[in-house]
């Protein structure tokens, strides 16, 4: 049972006020994270290029997705403890931990110090990670808050200043998030609110989430996780090869089914397309293939478009819309957001 009236009911919306306020504060969190690191960033300039960059931890893939297309040296995401065997004094290791005490992050920084690697670390001042990483050839960015995505912005800014990545434009990222907060606000009705519209579409459906570019695909995975948690149902993120079979085998609609005699109808998929503005003939072919398969199977398609701006800005705005949709989905289903 999905209570669609809850999405525009102020009293019902009060139940998820804390979650909605947190998402709405993402823009402010980006500004705080960048402001806390501003002094350290001002001292950076492009010096000798490292042989390679190793980004540790779960956010390593995000950094790689942003930097890999233009980084002038090899960039490796390393989600495992420690470092690859080849990492040494010629390489830069990036370690980010909003809490500053993660075992893997601390061990990675300690291993980097032991091998003589240059370090770029973001963590709270005085934390275990700060202490372990302190020393020569280490750049430390003081963390503000626990939002890992917001903390990624000053890290990417540092990599830009070191001549390794694109310009991030933190204020534009924060402004784009503020705009999403306005457009997906609980005060905005279902007919004008893309997050509420997606939540309604998923009320009795299985989400299939596609993002064509590397960053959009990462956003798709995180949004699918949020939708699974919100609904207690499956939610699948994947490429066209993975999603087309799910579309082609979607349960048929039985217009004569009686829910009292036949039981609840099987959940049908809804295709959510995350569009971050990346233009590519390969992506165009994949998207047309998905849309054609969805049309053939009478599956609804909902495009979600990112705000214009830097890559990280497009990523976080897609993620924010998905998180809003998950919160509204949980509310309509009477589940904890």
pLDDT of 330? 97
pTM of this structure: 0.91
Q: In this model, does residue 258 exceed pLDDT 70?
A: no
As a whole number of angstroms, the distance between CA 79 and CA 119 comes to 16
What per-residue string of b and e applies to 20-35 under the rule 16 or more CB within 10 Å gives b? beebbbbbbbbbbbbe
The arithmetic mean of pLDDT across residues 234-253, rounded, is: 92
As a whole number of angstroms, the distance between CA 26 and CA 173 comes to 10
CA nearest to 270, candidates 311, 212, 329: 329
The arithmetic mean of pLDDT across residues 130-140, rounded, is: 91
pLDDT tens digits for range 281-307? 999 999 999 999 999 999 999 999 998
pLDDT tens digits for range 151-208? 999 999 999 999 999 999 999 999 999 999 999 999 999 999 999 999 999 999 999 9
pLDDT of 246? 95
What stretches of the chain show up as alpha helix (H) in DSSP? 10-13, 17-24, 26-42, 60-67, 103-115, 128-133, 148-161, 170-183, 194-201, 214-231, 240-248, 259-262, 281-296, 311-332
Complete domains list, the chain, with CATH? 4-23+173-332 (3.40.50.10490), 47-162 (3.40.50.10490)
């Amino acid at each position: 049972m999905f209570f669609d009236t809850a999405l525009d009911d102020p009293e019902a919306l009060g139940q998820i006020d804390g979650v909605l306020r947190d998402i709405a504060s993402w823009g402010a969190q980006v500004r705080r994270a960048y402001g806390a690191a501003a002094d350290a960033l001002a001292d950076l300039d492009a010096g000798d290029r490292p042989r390679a960059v190793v980004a540790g931890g779960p956010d390593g893939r995000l950094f790689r997705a942003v930097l890999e297309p233009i980084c002038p040296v090899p960039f490796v995401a390393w989600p495992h403890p420690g470092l690859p065997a080849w990492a040494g004094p010629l390489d830069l290791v990036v370690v980010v931990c909003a809490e500053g005490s993660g075992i893997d992050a601390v061990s990675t920084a300690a291993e980097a110090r032991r091998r003589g690697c240059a370090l770029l670390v973001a963590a709270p001042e005085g934390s275990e990670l700060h202490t372990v990483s302190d020393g020569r050839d280490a750049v430390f960015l003081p963390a503000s808050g626990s939002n890992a995505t917001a903390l990624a912005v000053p890290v990417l800014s540092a990599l830009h200043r070191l001549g390794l990545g694109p310009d991030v434009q933190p204020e534009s990222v924060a402004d784009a998030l503020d705009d999403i907060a306005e457009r997906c606000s609980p005060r905005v009705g279902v007919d004008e609110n893309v997050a509420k519209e997606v939540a309604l579409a998923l009320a009795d459906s299985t989400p299939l989430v596609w993002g064509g570019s590397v960053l959009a695909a990462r956003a798709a995975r995180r949004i699918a996780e949020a939708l699974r948690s919100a609904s207690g149902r499956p939610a699948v993120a994947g490429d066209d090869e993975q999603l087309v079979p799910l579309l082609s085998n979607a349960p048929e609609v039985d217009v004569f089914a009686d829910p009292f005699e036949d039981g609840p109808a099987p959940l049908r998929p809804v295709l959510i397309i995350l569009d971050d503005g990346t233009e590519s003939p390969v992506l165009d072919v994949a998207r047309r293939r998905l849309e054609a398969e969805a049309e053939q199977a009478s599956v609804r398609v909902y495009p979600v478009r990112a705000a214009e701006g830097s890559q990280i800005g497009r990523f976080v705005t897609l993620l924010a819309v998905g998180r809003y949709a998950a919160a509204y989905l949980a509310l309509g289903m009477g589940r904890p957001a």
